[in-house]
Copies of this chain bind each other. A is one copy, B any other.
Amino acid sequence: MDTRFTGVIPPVITPFTAEGGLDLDSLEAVVDRLITAGVHALFALGSSGEVAYLTDAQRDAVIERTVAAAAGRVPVLAGAIDTTSQRVIEQARRAVGLGAEAVVATCPFYAKNDAQEIAEHFRAIAAAVEAPLFAYDVPVRLGGVKLECDMLVELGRQGVLAGVKDSSGDDVGFRRLVAANEAAGHPLALLTGHECVVDGMLLLGADGVVPGYGNVDPHRYALLWQASREGDWARARQIQDEICAGFEIVFVPRGRSADATGIGAFKTVMEAQGTIASNRMAFPVRALDGRVKDGILAIATAQGLI
């Protein structure tokens, strides 16, 4: 297992100015704050980074600035998110050329493929890209497609995959993956995308966590990780409960889209924290405002986040 890509690895949000352009200065501030808080790596251009909304030029700018801001203090993984293999490879090569030390790719989407085709997809990407490859398992954005445990471990054993980012919410599946990975000699770094059951996932053997909410409260995730390394699970649970109390911000918006709700709530607190200049979202998602914003900030204040 490549230990560079373990521990707390937040999927870095992408800040926008109030006018809607990329806000790379705010991005630098986010990166600094995350590293200062003790995270172990950064994941640029993930779903929380609104990667799907960014043009190629914007994606490049985000990676470039993230790598520059990280300045070698922690490694940077980059999402190479596109519909199919050849398109992903184009994304991935640009990212690696700009300094990303690992790439993260999903199975094909819009396309409709079976397990064998999905395995070939990852093989082709790994063969074409000079960097460790993580499989990104995120059924909720991919029409429900879930990556199979046996395939993932086999691809790990063959050196195709360096790890998995599991955002499936299928904790039983994740535990089976941990066990199968262990039995195969632990080739894969297994990262949970959970924000709220990280204590349990670390207890059962996760190698790291990629929490979107880590943009808001990176310090507590670092403490949670530390407690888990010390085997202090009661403390881990206590920290996780505190995290969850803050995470309630994402349940304040009602009747808004999933992206507006989650990423929007994170950005709203980060704006109040002074890390980013605006809680603006990528077009066409409207930023949270009014009573929703008030409700989010009330929770964040009560939880000591601002």
Please list the residues of chain A having a beta carbon within 8 angstroms of any beta carbon in chain B: 47, 50, 52-55, 58, 81, 83-87, 90, 108-114, 116-118, 120-121, 124, 140-144, 169-172, 175-176, 179, 194-197, 199-201, 203-205, 231, 233-234, 236-237, 240-241, 244-245, 255-260, 282-286
CA distance A177 to B91 in the complex (A): 39
| 24 interchain pairs, CB-CB under 8 A | A50-B111, A53-B111, A54-B86, A55-B87, A109-B110, A112-B257, A112-B259, A114-B255, A114-B260, A117-B260, A169-B172, A171-B194, A171-B197, A172-B196, A172-B197, A179-B241, A197-B200, A200-B200, A200-B204, A203-B237, A204-B240, A204-B241, A231-B233, A233-B234
Q: A204-B240, A244-B176 are in contact. Are A84 and B282 (CB under 8 A)?
A: yes
CA distance A200 to B201 in the complex (A): 7
Contact yes or no, A197 B170, CB < 8 A: no
Contact yes or no, B257 A117, CB < 8 A: yes
Partner of A199, one of B84, B111, B179, B200: B200
Chain B residues, CB < 8 A from A283: 84-86, 120, 124
Q: Quick one: which of A108, A112, A116, A144 has the most chain B CB within 10 A?
A: A112
Partner of A196, one of B175, B201, B205, B255: B175
Q: A143-B142, A203-B199 are in contact. Are A256 and B114 (CB under 8 A)?
A: yes
